[in-house]
Amino acid sequence: MSSQRRAAVLIATAVLSCLPAAAAGCASASAHGSPSPATSSAGPSDTVSRAGIGATLTVTATVERVITVNAFVVGDDDLPDRGLLVFGVARRPLRPTDLVTVRGTVEQFRFSTFAPRFAMSDAGRYQPFDGHRVLIAEEIRSDA
């Protein structure tokens, strides 16, 4: 067998031997004997969860509800199921279904620390967000 044909057979054998491993998630050893990278478990499923505390984040989403003049909730497929609580004042009053683009800083929400900062009085309105990430807006643009 020629050296070219022998090389082709070796390559084909290596490729074919990797197919079952690829179908099973590539968790077997590679042709060089070192472990292949294993697939990692799924990470956070939404943009806000993937963003670190203190990160600057820009989201475009629909206003789901307005809580106060400086707090509202937006929703989108790539945001938490409960929505994203945003603190900030828009140039004009927002209404549900308004499309907004918000740029701000991700923070961990605790009603007890945010209440004095944003003149909040009704803890029940914010309870679904306690302990979760929120966005402190630096800029709010409404496309409505």
Lowest mean pLDDT among 27-36, 107-116, 132-141: 27-36
Check: CB of residue 101 under 8 Å from CB of residue 62.
no
Share of the chain above pLDDT 70, in %: 68
Tell me the pLDDT tens digit for each residue of 1-50: 544 444 444 444 443 444 344 444 433 344 444 444 444 444 456 788 88
- Distance, CA of 137 to CA of 61 (rounded, Å): 13
Distances (CA, A) of 71 to 4, 45, 55: 69, 24, 19
DSSP code of residue 128: G
- State the pLDDT at residue 17: 46
Whether pLDDT at 95 is above 60: yes
Q: CB–CB of 109/130 below 8 Å?
A: yes
The reported pLDDT for the residue numbered 44 is 57
Rounded to an integer, what distance in angstroms lies between the CA atom of residue 23 and that of residue 19? Answer: 6
Rounded mean pLDDT of the chain?
78
Pairwise pLDDT comparison (37 vs 125), residue with the higher score: 125
Q: What is the pLDDT of residue 19?
A: 38
pLDDT (mean) for 58-80? 94
Rounded to two decimals, what is the model's pTM? Answer: 0.68
